[in-house]
Amino acid sequence: MKTATSKERVLKTFHHEEPDRVPVDYSANAGIDSRLKAHFGLAATDDVGLLCALGVDFREVAAPYVGPRLFPEVSGRMVDPERGVRRRWIEHESGGYWDYCDFPLSGADLGDIQRWPMPSADDYDYAAVTEDCRKHRRFAVVAGSPGLGDLINRSGMLRGMEQVLVDLVTDDPAGLLLLDRRIELDVEVTRRTLEAARGGVDILCIGEDLGTQIAPMISMELFRRHIRPRHQRLVDVARSFGIPVMIHSCGSSSWAYDDFIEMGISAVDTLQPEARHMAPRYLKDRFGSRLVFHGCISTAGPIAYGTPEDVRTNVRETLAVMMPGGGYCLAPTHSIQDNSPTENVLAMYEAAREYGRY
């Protein structure tokens, strides 16, 4: 089989056909990302160079925020000028990360939510999308991200996770208004982004973490009452442009897959194999003809704690289950963490090239 372009490879996979090889994707925390760039002799800012070195088939596009700063800086915090989310730096033995804190809407009532500043859909540079789609035309271009449509986590960053779950159970007007204000903005920015892409976007990615490691995060009843109808609006926008939707969901999430299919969602992302009902064989047998899979290589497995040979074995075994008939993109289950040895990450991508050919 002739070598396909990345775009051809991914689109064929999304049609449940077998391309020349399994498509691969990449996401990583800053520490391991910088080590990989150093390994390849790349500049610290050369993101595209690293994607090319790893053979990544996907490219992301987004309309950058160019509006006014809506929230002031706070000492000792990183404040998102667009959303008001606050984070603080947390050290750990392999580096550190910015964790969410303060939760400025934790005690907010309906009036507080109505007054909370939010951007206008006019505050984004859609012309950048047009140019990036042209630049990445040989790759599978993805608009959106796991944060698009993410109702529980994004509201939790402002309101606190416990309060958001209480909001869903009790139909709290303040909490539900926060969800709706975010979705309204997401829908309009997504629509304008896809218009600006002029056919150059291949996939829309949305997200919602619906599982713990052992069970659903929320009940099916709550999912259908509060999450599904709001996500449906984003799915419908994508479908109006003829674009498939991929949804990111961590943890034990397969309980919602039949609903995803009914909604018109084409692909599922993360696929943490250690979570309940998320093993590759379980997913392939039950959903392999109806969903595209993107993920399965656990960031909490051999890539972090094994040897390069352990990683190679894990990739080979995963591909043996997921490859047949197409419909699988190899990717880490989340951002590769900084405790992952560089040689293990390299082994993942080398094994994908070696064992991922049809």
Q: Is the pLDDT of residue 284 over 90?
A: yes
Rounded to an integer, what distance in angstroms lies between the CA atom of residue 245 and that of residue 294? 12
| Contact yes or no for 215/276 (Cβ under 8 A) | yes
Supply the pLDDT for residue 92: 84
Contacts with 248 (C-beta within 8 Å, 6 or more apart), sequence order? 145, 146, 205, 206, 207, 208, 209, 269, 270
* Long-range CB contact pairs, 165-172, < 8 A, 24+: 165/218, 168/218, 168/222, 168/225, 168/226, 169/222
Average pLDDT over residues 9-22: 97
Average pLDDT over residues 60-76: 97
Position with higher pLDDT, 2 vs 129: 129
In a domain? residue 243 = yes
Q: Is the pLDDT of residue 212 over 90?
A: yes
- The mean predicted confidence, pLDDT, of the chain is 97
In a domain? residue 21 = yes
Residue range of the domain that includes 351: 6-70+108-355
In a domain? residue 98 = no
- CB hemisphere CA count around 83 (13 angstroms): 20
Supply the pLDDT for residue 153: 95
Using 50, 70 and 90 to split pLDDT, how confident is the model at 93?
Answer: confident
In a domain? residue 82 = no
Q: Is the pLDDT of residue 286 over 60?
A: yes
Q: Is the pLDDT of residue 1 over 70?
A: no
In a domain? residue 189 = yes
Average pLDDT over residues 41-69: 98
| Contact yes or no for 110/177 (Cβ under 8 A) | yes
Rounded to an integer, what distance in angstroms lies between the CA atom of residue 165 and that of residue 174? 13
Rounded to an integer, what distance in angstroms lies between the CA atom of residue 294 and that of residue 283? 12
In a domain? residue 80 = no
Q: Is the pLDDT of residue 26 over 60?
A: yes
Total count of domains within the chain: 1
Average pLDDT over residues 158-172: 98
CATH number at residue 167: 3.20.20.210
In a domain? residue 40 = yes
Supply the pLDDT for residue 96: 85
In a domain? residue 292 = yes
Supply the pLDDT for residue 250: 96
Q: Is the pLDDT of residue 225 over 70?
A: yes
**Helices marked H in 107-227 — which ranges?**
110-115, 127-135, 151-159, 161-170, 173-197, 220-222
- Percent share of the chain, pLDDT over 70: 99
Amino acid at 289: S
Q: Is the pLDDT of residue 2 over 80?
A: no
Amino acid at 132: D
Rounded to an integer, what distance in angstroms lies between the CA atom of residue 343 and that of residue 353? 15
What are 236-270's pLDDT values in tens digits?
A: 999 999 999 999 999 999 999 999 999 999 999 99
Question: Which two structure tokens, joined as six digits, stand for 180?
Answer: 């709706």
Rounded to an integer, what distance in angstroms lies between the CA atom of residue 191 and that of residue 66? 18
